[in-house]
Structure 1
Amino acid sequence: MSIMNNLINYANELTFKDLPGYVIEYIKIHILDTLGAIIAGSSAEVSKKLLNLIIKWGGRKEGTIFVYRLKVPLPNAAWMNSTMSRGFDFESILGDGATHIPACIIPAAFAIAEYSMITRNTPISGKDFIIGIALGLDLGYRLRVAGGEATAMGGGWLAETFSPIAIAAMGAKMLNFDDEKSRNAIGIAYNQCCGTYGATVGNGGGLMAQLSQGLGTKAGIISLILADEGFTASKDDVIEGKWGLYKMYGNGYYNRDILLGNLGKSFDHLRPIIKKYPGCGGLQSVIHTALNLYKEHNLKIHEISRIKIYVNKLNYLQLAHRRSKPSTTSDILWNGRFIVAVALARKQLFVGELDKCCLEDPEILEIYSKIEIEPDESLEIGGVEIEIKTKDGRRYFQKGSPLIPMSLNEVVNKFKRCCLYAAKPYSEREVNALIDAVFSIEKQSDVTIMIP
């Protein structure tokens, strides 16, 4: 059986009972953390720019822009919500280079729930919502990672490049498409895959990195709508065909076992990686280790002569190579030297530290001038070694691991803090009600009541 048919059959057959309890908890954490990132991201520079443009375009009132509670054409709402989730690059991610798949899948799932009400007057239940998100995350991960180096981190394509296909499969499941319509949705989605490192990595790429997240989500939603309206795509297999996914977006290689192995049986790869700090996942350990070292020895800015940071070669190319002083708050999120300088100058790093003032803050600029980042191939992706040297000759050294574990209470508290930075304020009662709704989502008869 072809890969395409296998994936469609898997989607058709997946039920809520197939999902282990731990996977359901994973999904809830992904939902909560992504909603928190969207709420905080509503005040980000990129969000305000895109919102103004979408309002200017106008159009039919269908989908909800979260936080602002504005109704706009559904694809634009999905685009906006997904982009806001990357406003401070603070949403949950997946491992193995699949990274930002949740920031596409979860806003898309809410858009599909609204579409179901608009076109079918049928609500999506909490259980069906969980099934859809589990499927979308699973396929998004598999499609991204199966191509190996050519499609994973460092291959030139972003995680969201393949999200339209995963969204199409998820939506086909949630909307009960038949096999033919599902195949059409996936084929149309394949024709809209987009997003490359080339336009996002380096000076000035911050806004595009955030926008491309939403563009992938928007493409997935448009694909579903087109298929639902009777548009068709080639019957050729978009994965294995002559012009299939990995021939077009890689070197023709893909790992069939990663694509199909233990479908519906293994979901360990959906474990959420929660960011403690805003900014790229590759910078989490860098920020954490630098702050720990700085605070542990009670250092002062004027005492420091040099800060030397060693990271994996790939992280260096993404976050340090040819990056000069950022000119926008968006660019700070992927600038290793500058974001560490912000964290040390302000002795912490959350959304509030990343304001426009920090771009010209004298203390931040002083630390920034003392930081050097160099590649070290002996380090694993996300790992770090930091040495701080003082003017009087003292040296302090610390090594950091890629993952920073966070308890469930810490995840909930992060969500509450994110809500403090919403473009429109939330009351404590509203925040707690949203938390309760997420953790009892399987009992919800209509998930659109959870739209913040």
Structure 2
Amino acid sequence: MSLSKRLAEYVVETTYDDIPGEVVAFTKLCILDYFSSAIAGKDTPPIRKVEEMVEMLGGNEQASLINGGKSSVTNAALLNGAASHIVEQDDIHKSSIIHAATVVIPAALAIGESKKLDGKDLITAVVIGYEVCFRIGEAVSPSHYYYWHNTATCGTFGSAAATAKLLDLSVEQTVHALGSAGTQAAGLWEFIEDGAMSKQLHPGKAAMNGVIAGLLAEKDFSAASKILEGRRGFFEAMSDEYDADKITNGLGREFKIMENSFKVHASCRHTHHAMDLVSDFAREENLDPDEVEKIEVGTYAVAINITDNDDPQTVYQGKFSLQYCTALALVKQNGNLDTFTEENLWDEEIRHMMNKVTIFTDEAVDHAYPGKWGANVDIHLKNGETVTLTTEYPKGDPENHVTEDDLYEKFMVLAKAIDKSQAEEVAANILSLENADDLSSLFPYNVTVK
């Protein structure tokens, strides 16, 4: 049996009744967290550009847009996916290195709303989409991640799986959907060299491509039946080494969505370990930045590859600079969205502190990656004292979890672009999603405030 067929059987056979209550509750938090980032990102310049393109493309009004109004299911998946990935507060799965919400949920929302499906259908599709993309990401990581943006590549399979479930495709049709997803999977890390807007295109296009794959499969449009393990398939083409067993081990017996992590700081997840440590220390000790002689951050090699930038020139580049994020977190004692500003980017105190930050690969920490995204931080003070701080799990990991109240508060902060009463109603609708019969009520401009 091909891996695609095994995954397809899982997609077809899994029902809402198979999902334990705690998984349902957690999935609703993932959806709430998705809307936090999407609402916060909807008015940013890159997303406005995508919105303008969507308006130019036109299309039947099938699904809601995060900015208001409706468009085709493909356009909705594209825009709503792109919007949720720009403020750098979307969820992340450590082992697969995937931001699943930004890909799976926009695709599921678009198809679910257009088909007039309900909250239970959406929850089921999201659980399935996360499961499929996490497993594929785990199979090809970490080698795949050097050139390829896992959220874009592996995420495409997740959006296709969620779409296939909501379209009620057969096993054979779902195999075709996965095949069409895999052949569209793309997203290169080169954008990071320029801080380019391609990063927002990646999840939007992955969500859109998954929808396209499912809709074509519904019409019995054929695709590769062994898109993963085939000799010219995804594994061979896009990873130096892979573990195909990770696709099927425990499939149907566990729920990988429960391994999902949430982001506290508004920056690349590979900066969060150091930000947690230095912000907590600075806050607890009421540390004067002038007391610091230097800071040494030892972490895993991937974090260095992605975030080694000692002179960021834009706010967005700052979010991908471990040196800057460490300095910002120490001086400002947090890393929330409001701290990543043009003013702080060029703040003399933060820039001076950034020059004191040295980063390097710590072999022990690197060996534990990607199971643990840790760091060891030494803060050398001018009085001769050295403070050593360490973490294996950033805040928001399952091992260092945040609460429902934390995520609700995060939503209300990030949703400040809309009316507070609207935000409260959207959150209430999401947190009672299993009772919803109209998915459009999850979008802020569709809610009727009670």
| 1:198-347 matches, cutoff 5 A | 199-201=190-192, 203-205=193-195, 207-228=197-218, 230=219, 232-234=221-223, 236-251=225-240, 253-256=242-245, 258-268=246-256, 270-320=258-308, 323-347=309-333
Q: What one-letter code is carried by the residue in structure 2 that aligns with 1:224?
A: G
Q: In structure 1, the residue corresponding to 2:295 is in which secondary structure?
A: strand
Q: CA deviation at 1:389?
A: 2.6
Whole-angstrom CA distance in 2 between matches of 1:348 and 1:252: 38
What's the Cα RMSD here?
Answer: 2.3
Q: CA deviation at 1:44?
A: 3.7
Q: CA deviation at 1:225?
A: 3.2
Q: In structure 2, the residue corresponding to 1:137 is in which secondary structure?
A: helix
Whether 2:338 is the aligned partner of 1:349: answer no
Aligned residues: 434
| 1:3-402 matches, cutoff 5 A | 3-66=3-66, 68-116=67-115, 123-151=116-144, 153-154=145-146, 156-197=148-189, 199-201=190-192, 203-205=193-195, 207-228=197-218, 230=219, 232-234=221-223, 236-251=225-240, 253-256=242-245, 258-268=246-256, 270-320=258-308, 323-379=309-365, 380-381=368-369, 382-402=373-393
CA contact (8 A) 2:120 2:433 kept: yes
Whole-angstrom CA distance in 2 between matches of 1:143 and 1:155: 16
Specify whether residues 177 and 95 from structure 1 end up closer, same or farther in structure 2 by C-alpha distance, changes over 3 A only: same
Whole-angstrom CA distance in 1 between matches of 2:240 and 2:384: 51
Q: What one-letter code is carried by the residue in structure 2 that aligns with 1:78?
A: A
Whole-angstrom CA distance in 2 between matches of 1:221 and 1:14: 19
Q: CA deviation at 1:359?
A: 2.4
Larger mean CA deviation between 16-25 and 242-251 belongs to 242-251
Whole-angstrom CA distance in 2 between matches of 1:187 and 1:28: 29
Larger mean CA deviation between 391-400 and 187-196 belongs to 391-400
Whole-angstrom CA distance in 2 between matches of 1:235 and 1:334: 37
CA contact (8 A) 1:312 1:384 kept: yes
Whole-angstrom CA distance in 2 between matches of 1:298 and 1:432: 35
Q: What one-letter code is carried by the residue in structure 1 that aligns with 2:94?
A: G
**For structure 2, which runs of at least 5 residues remain unmatched after alignment?**
396-400, 445-450
Normalising by structure 1, what TM-score?
0.89
Specify whether residues 341 and 51 from structure 1 end up closer, same or farther in structure 2 by C-alpha distance, changes over 3 A only: farther
Whether 2:434 is the aligned partner of 1:442: answer yes
Question: Identity over aligned residues, as a percent?
Answer: 23
Specify whether residues 342 and 58 from structure 1 end up closer, same or farther in structure 2 by C-alpha distance, changes over 3 A only: farther
**For structure 1, which runs of at least 5 residues remain unmatched after alignment?**
117-122
CA contact (8 A) 1:92 1:273 kept: yes
Whole-angstrom CA distance in 1 between matches of 2:4 and 2:317: 38
Write out the 4+ residue segments of structure 1 that deviate beyond 6 Å after TM superposition.
none
Deviations 1:133-181 (A, max 9, x none): 1110000111111234433x44745233122222222211111123443
Whether 2:410 is the aligned partner of 1:414: answer yes
Whole-angstrom CA distance in 1 between matches of 2:313 and 2:220: 43
Whole-angstrom CA distance in 2 between matches of 1:22 and 1:242: 40
Whole-angstrom CA distance in 2 between matches of 1:403 and 1:235: 39
Q: What one-letter code is carried by the residue in structure 2 that aligns with 1:215?
A: K
Q: What one-letter code is carried by the residue in structure 2 that aligns with 1:332?
A: G
